[in-house]
Amino acid sequence: MLGLLIITSCEKAEIHKSLVTTNDEVQAREDDCVDDCDDCPVNDCCCSIQLLSLGSTTLGFCGTSGPCVSTMTCGLSGLPFCPDINGFVETISLIGQSSTVLFCVPQNSQFGIISATGAPVVRLTCQIGQTSPQFVTIQLNTPPAKPYWSTDSDCLLTSCF
């Protein structure tokens, strides 16, 4: 039984690795914590956020996973149709138009963008490595912008606000 579990885990890792490393569209900067989707836990969604507007912005995320999550706790609540989000803050900086940063989100969970400098327009996906990924374009309002998102088992994004 243990041997079957190990083999299945390795197969899932290899499938995850092959799916996420074939997408040339997203290239993370060298200083990002998630350089490629292999840095995400095996069952997590590999997501990216791209700055579409001019300038730069710093975003705080709550509910993400992966190597960049800080020890600073976060919590988002108060919207009537959205579940509460708990976790730790992950800070992402986008410097220059078209800059893209990868991050990880568990499947079937929620995450939120808890801050932004300026009012940037960004493009978001949690289907890196999938054929015909879903992209969502949003404009973040002046802080405190708090858009909530849910992922499903296919890493599709659903807005919750």
Mean pLDDT score, 137-144: 76
User: For residue 137, what pLDDT is reported?
Assistant: 93
Residue 83 pLDDT exceeds 60: yes
Q: What is the DSSP string of 26-75?
A: ----TTSS-SSGGGS-TTEEEEEEEE-SSSEEEEEEES-BSTT--S-EEE
Q: Rounded mean pLDDT of the chain? A: 76
pTM score: 0.74
Residue 23: domain span = 2-159
Please give the average per-residue pLDDT across 58-76, as a whole number.
81
Q: Give Dmax (Cα) for the chain.
A: 54
Q: Given this model, what pLDDT does residue 86 score?
A: 79
When comparing pLDDT for 2 and 88, which is higher? 88
- State how many domains the chain has: 1
Distances (CA, A) of 85 to 18, 59, 60, 156: 30, 16, 13, 18
pLDDT in tens, 6-58: 433 443 343 333 333 333 333 333 345 778 888 888 889 999 999 999 989 99
How far is Cα 160 from Cα 132, in angstroms, rounded to an integer? 23
Cβ atoms of 134 and 52 within 8 Å: the answer is no
Give dist(CA 152, CA 158) in Å, integer. Answer: 8
At residue 153, the pLDDT reads 95
Share of the chain above pLDDT 70, in %: 74
Residue 94: per-residue pLDDT: 92
